[in-house]
């Protein structure tokens, strides 16, 4: 055995804007239908942040809940990681804005960008600091206000996304429990299929980039779909194997909430019936990095996850990236 510490989730929390945008509302905005959206994606409605709400605001609300459940104070936090593609601004990091709001004066803070896989990249990163003994308590957030970078005239994307934030506090847990294995990956050549092209150093903001709608999400949905169906099952299988477990040892799956057809394919691949799979995309749509921690928080508060259960988290997204984790709760 090595002398690394076992790391687990001590508390979860989530936050959602109040405003609901239904498929019927979208029917009035673009050429679409509730029937098309439900049958192709499973999404019925999503939450939309108001103009005064930024990603750090939702992060703050989710963080307080996770810290309360974990019994951890702001001063006890050693590190804050915010996974997001919709930071409050390019810099300072949203994690630094959050550190200030929380009064977490002893915490280092940085943002991490791995799109929808961001939360899994985040907990894997946080785990390393605690496993080695460098830090004791790490706050990991997945938070997005995708509505702010959505082209509300593009029916191919605007029906998919929503806003929200999910948080966990990571800390040391009893040996042999917590995060048993993780798997992260990237396929950079597929990056072009999911992108917000302008606003960075390649294409700084100009009147033209604004007029060309290059500050909005652009997606090749079919390509992302094919990648997702393959990688979700593969990622889940990999972490099960790495943890030395069999498919039948898995008690619950918390997948990224992009499309019900992608989730069903992943569940089938690891032979898990859908009643053991968390699905909330009907209510919230795809919230990128926020989807998995919000789904996890809901599953915990619904009593779907119990001590000793083996949980698989798996996601995919822009990059293209993927991530998976097997957690003994
Ligand atoms: O977190 C990662 C983010 N991205 C994803 O997860 C996206 C993964 N991809 C998907 O979920 C699916 O590819 C979509 C839901 C985006 C699209 O579903 P699809 O079954 O792949 O549809 P499609 O793109 O092949 O489009 C089929 C038809 C097209 O019309 P034609 O060319 O057959 O006449 C589209 O123009 O559906 C049309 N269409 C729509 N119709 C009504 C596309 N979007 C809409 C819409 N309402 N909102």
Domains of the chain: residue spans and CATH: 7-176 (3.40.47.10), 179-328 (3.40.47.10)
Active site annotation includes 286: yes
Query: What is the phi/psi pair of residue 43, to 5°?
Result: -85, 135
Residue nearest to atom 12 of ligand 1 (CA): 221
Q: In the 8-state DSSP scheme, what is residue 199?
A: S
Residue among 21, 29, 35, 156 to mutate when testing ligand 1 (max atoms within 8 A of CB): 156
E strands present in 136-247:
138-145, 163-172, 178-186, 194-195, 218-219
Residue nearest to atom 48 of ligand 1 (CA): 155
CA of 37 to the centre of ligand 1 (A): 9
Whether residue 219 contacts residue 158, with contact meaning beta carbons closer than 8 Å, is answered with no
Residue among 34, 115, 225, 260 to mutate when testing ligand 1 (max atoms within 8 A of CB): 225
Assess whether the C-beta atom of 155 lies below 6 angstroms from ligand 1. yes
Assess whether the C-beta atom of 159 lies below 6 angstroms from ligand 1. yes
Count the Cβ atoms, other than its own, within 10 Å of residue 229: 19
pLDDT score recorded for residue 2: 72
Atom of ligand 1 nearest to the CA of 156: 44
* DSSP H helices in the chain: 23-27, 34-41, 55-70, 94-102, 118-131, 155-158, 207-211, 221-242, 260-269, 281-284, 291-301
Assess whether the C-beta atom of 209 lies below 6 angstroms from ligand 1. no
Active site annotation includes 215: no
Active site annotation includes 106: no
Distance CA 65, CA 167 (A): 8
Assess whether the C-beta atom of 156 lies below 6 angstroms from ligand 1. yes
CA of 227 to the centre of ligand 1 (A): 15
CA of 221 to the centre of ligand 1 (A): 6
Nearest in space to 59 (alpha carbons), one of 101, 110, 122, 116: 101
pLDDT score recorded for residue 267: 94
pLDDT score recorded for residue 210: 97
pLDDT score recorded for residue 1: 52
Catalytic residue chosen out of the listed positions 23, 96, 116, 310: 116
In this structure, the chain runs to a length of 329
Atom of ligand 1 nearest to the CA of 318: 2
Distance CA 215, CA 9 (A): 35
Assess whether the C-beta atom of 14 lies below 6 angstroms from ligand 1. no
Atom of ligand 1 nearest to the CA of 116: 1
Assess whether the C-beta atom of 94 lies below 6 angstroms from ligand 1. no
Residue nearest to atom 23 of ligand 1 (CA): 222
Assess whether the C-beta atom of 32 lies below 6 angstroms from ligand 1. yes
User: For each successive 10 residues of the chain (329 residues), what is the average pLDDT?
Assistant: 89 98 98 98 98 98 98 98 98 98 98 98 98 98 98 97 98 97 97 97 97 96 93 96 96 97 94 96 98 98 96 97 98
């Amino acid at each position: 055995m090595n002398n690394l510490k076992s790391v687990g989730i001590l508390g979860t929390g989530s936050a959602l804007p109040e405003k609901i945008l239904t498929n019927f509302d979208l029917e009035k905005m673009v050429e679409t239908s509730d029937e098309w959206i439900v049958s192709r994606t499973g999404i019925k409605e999503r939450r939309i942040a108001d103009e005064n709400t930024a990603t750090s605001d939702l992060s703050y609300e989710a963080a307080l809940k996770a810290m309360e459940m974990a019994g951890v104070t702001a001063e006890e936090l050693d590190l804050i990681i915010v996974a997001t593609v919709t930071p409050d601004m390019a810099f300072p990091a949203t994690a630094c804005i959050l550190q200030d709001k929380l009064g977490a004066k002893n915490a280092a803070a940085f943002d991490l960008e791995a799109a929808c896989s961001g939360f899994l990249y985040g907990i894997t990163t946080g785990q390393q600091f605690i496993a080695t003994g460098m830090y004791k308590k790490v706050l990991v957030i997945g938070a997005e206000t995708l509505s702010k970078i959505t082209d509300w005239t593009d029916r191919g994307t605007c029906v998919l996304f929503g806003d929200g934030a999910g948080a966990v506090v990571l800390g040391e847990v009893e040996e042999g429990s917590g995060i048993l294995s993780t798997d992260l990956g990237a396929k950079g050549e597929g990056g072009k299929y999911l992108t917000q092209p302008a606003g960075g150093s390649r294409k700084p903001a100009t009147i033209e980039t604004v007029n060309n709608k290059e500050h909005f999400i652009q997606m090749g949905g079919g390509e992302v779909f094919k990648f997702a169906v393959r990688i979700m099952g593969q990622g889940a299988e990999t972490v099960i194997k790495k943890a030395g477990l069999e498919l039948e040892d898995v008690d619950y799956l918390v997948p990224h909430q992009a499309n019900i057809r992608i989730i069903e394919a992943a569940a089938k691949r690891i032979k898990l019936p859908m009643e053991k799979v968390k699905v909330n995309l009907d209510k919230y749509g795809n919230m990128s990095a926020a989807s998995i921690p919000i789904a996890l928080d809901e599953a915990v508060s619904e009593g779907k996850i119990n001590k000793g259960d083996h949980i698989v988290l798996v996601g995919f997204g822009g990059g293209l990236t993927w991530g998976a984790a097997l957690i003994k709760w």
